[in-house]
Amino acid sequence: MGLDLRADTHADNKPVQHLLLKHGFRYCGIIRVTDGSKRFAYQLELD
């Protein structure tokens, strides 16, 4: 059974985006949170 982690961050949060990519997360696209604002979505799948 694999591990599936998801994270989202504000488009202006470049340090977190860099860390997510550095640690194997892949960019999945833009999502909207409950207040309607946009976030960048990332996902990490481990076997």
pLDDT digits (tens, 9 = 90+) for 1-44: 689 999 999 999 999 999 999 999 999 999 999 999 999 999 99
DSSP 46: E
Confidence at residue 47, expressed as pLDDT on a 0 to 100 scale = 84
Confidence at residue 8, expressed as pLDDT on a 0 to 100 scale = 97
Contact 39, 12 (CB under 8 A): no
End-to-end CA, the chain: 7
Q: pTM of whole model > 0.85?
A: yes
